[in-house]
Amino acid sequence: MAAISWPLSSSPGLTEAEGAGRLINAMVEKLGDGARAPVSRRRVPGLGLFADTALSTPRGLRAIGPVVLGAYRDMLVKVTEDRTVTPLGSLPGSKRITIAHNNRQPAPDVVAVTQYGAYKLSIDTAPMPLTIPGSLPAPNACCELFGFLFFTAGNGTCFASGLNATTFNTLDYTVEQARPGGLLRPIPFRDELFLFGPSGIGVYGGTAQQNGFPLARITGIPRGLIGPWAVAGHEEGWSNEMIWVGDDAVVYKLSGYSPVRLSTHDVERDLAAAAKVDATQIEASVHLVAGHACWVVSMPGRTWVYDLTTGQWHERASHQASRWRASQSVKAFGRWLVGDTAGTGLLEVREDVFTEAGAPLRFRVESLPGQAFPQRIAFPRVDLDFAFGTGLLSSDPTLSDPRALVSWSDDGGSTWSNPLSRSLGRRGATRTRINVLRTGLSGPQGRSWRIDVSDPVYCALLGGAVAPDVRSE
């Protein structure tokens, strides 16, 4: 029998005929030496409810000491480890914000930059406007480094607060002028300050200076940021690379001070199309689960995930949506938490959860086309190798007798057959096998196979094989 070629990375192609298989809510994990397959394609981690905020439109998340501050539409809340949600007061707006804190003791100063200006935050009281001297420009984002609070502005200015303070000297600023376009975001990474603009990045660091802007310019990177939210990897709790979407719609990671391309043409096409509509809708986040360091970029219509552990891309799509419902991430209480664009929950990324806040999480794998061009192929038998016997003890048949749906396409993925349902095996039924018989002749573009699993149990595809019969007609 001939092995079915399953993808390692999702590649839908510019057209269906150019696709090389897809992984949607499925990720690759290398298996140990001697396993019956070199890799497993498993369902991605699900989303469990950590706390219900009763608020929609997540705008920003940040761990501050023993709590998480969460900004939602017109409101700031705090969430504690025991899952208690406490409203703190009004924080006007519905758009994304940035939150920063310094190192003041016994409690840090916390600030935020919103669409309506800068605010001083607290874990116990309502937000208050932050007083910034009128000679300094209105900020569009903030971050912290070495106890200073840094604010960027659209005219290219970056200004700093006093050390562990929320006061300002109007001379403590710099203007990034190497490339035009102003500044979008300040990002602290590896003890340096990266000032992202739409056409370049200024890098600042060294020993903090007492007079003027605290840091000295080290170098510039001639690659900008496509939109203010399209960078992630600097977050607390993440020990991997900083990765961003460049002004050319290419995903880069930082290697020294050089941008290294990570994206495929499929990813880049989606990003370029989204940027033409609204680049502020492109948002990146990170999470780490079961040894997989995942960098995520979402936009209207698609979510792509780059797995730094395997160096491969997969797609995520939530129930009845074309992109992942998660927005933003924060490491807190030993967990990776994310905002929810489809509900009011603060959600946790969990490998042992097979739904998204109770909604189905459909695992889908589409194979590379099998063909003998220009000849056609008959498929008298197809066998699929799964992790079997994953059903649970339950009166719910989706748990006790989970099913996989098998379908195929003979026109490059433009249309698919009606799916055939096959059991993944009740609990302990490891002798279960999936096979499909007499599925007819392939088309001139070969035969692609699609596997769907929506039942909320562990699922992993290890391989598949066919008994092809090449026809001369």
- Tell me, yes or no, whether 314 lies in a domain: yes
Q: What percent of the chain has pLDDT over 70?
A: 98
Range name among 12-16, 285-289, 373-377, 401-405 with the lowest pLDDT average = 373-377
Shared domain check, 49 and 34: no
C-alpha closest to that of 50 among 458, 357, 456, 402: 357
- Predicted pLDDT at 264: 97
Query: Residue 187 sits in which domain range?
Result: 97-228
- Please provide the distance, in angstroms rounded to a whole number, between the alpha carbons at the two ends of the chain: 22
State the CATH number of the domain containing residue 125.
2.130.10.10
- Asked if residue 24 is part of any domain, the answer here is yes
Domain count across the chain:
3
Please report whether residue 68 resides in a domain.
no
CATH number at residue 391: 2.60.120.260
Among the ranges given (123-132, 250-259, 365-374), the one the predictor scored with the smallest mean pLDDT? 365-374
Q: Quick check: is 238 in a domain?
A: no
Query: Do 317 and 368 fall into the same domain?
Result: no
Instruction: Give pLDDT tens digits for 40-78.
Output: 999 999 999 999 999 999 999 999 999 999 999 999 999
Residue 264 lies in a domain: yes
DSSP tag of 429: -
Residues 321 and 408 in one domain: no
Q: Scanning the structure block, which residue is given the tokens 């990813």?
A: 267
Q: Which residues contact 39 (CB under 8 A, 6 or more apart)?
A: 8, 28, 29, 30, 31
Looking at the fold, whether 263 and 199 belong to one and the same domain comes out as no
**pLDDT (0 to 100) of residue 378:** 82
Whether residues 50 and 34 share a domain: the answer is: no
For residues 264 and 299, state if they share a domain.
Answer: yes
Residue 429, number of CB atoms within 10 A of its CB:
14
Query: Of 201, 228, 255, which one is at a domain's C-terminal end?
Result: 228
* Across 309-314, average pLDDT: 97
**pTM of the entire structure?**
0.95
Specify whether 272 is located in the same domain as 374.
no
pLDDT for position 370: 79
The pLDDT confidence band at residue 473, using thresholds 50, 70 and 90, is: low
Same domain for 101 and 207?
A: yes
Whether residues 353 and 250 share a domain: the answer is yes
Kindly report, residue by residue over 212-245, the tens digit of the pLDDT: 999 999 999 999 999 999 999 999 999 888 999 9
Asked if residue 130 has pLDDT above 80, the reply is yes
User: Of 344, 326, 342, whose CA–CA distance to 54 is shortest?
Assistant: 344
Query: Is 81 inside a domain boundary?
Result: no
Residue 248 located in a structural domain: yes
Q: Which of 334, 358, 382 is the last residue of a domain?
A: 358
Residue 468: is its pLDDT beyond 90? no
pLDDT, residue 467, reads 80
Whether residues 440 and 422 share a domain: the answer is yes
- Of 169, 193, 228, the one marking the end of a domain is 228
Bridge partners, residue 393, by sequence: none
Residue-wise pLDDT for 371-381, tens only, equals: 655 567 888 88
Share of the chain above pLDDT 90, in %: 80
Same domain? 101 vs 216: yes
Residues 192 and 204 both lie in one domain? yes
Query: Is 92 inside any structural domain?
Result: no
Neighbouring-strand partners of residue 188: 193
- Edge-to-edge strand order for the sheet containing 359-360? 326-332, 335-340, 345-350, 46-52, 355-356, 359-360
HSE on the CB side for 419, CA within 13 Å? Answer: 13
Mean pLDDT of the residues in the chain:
93
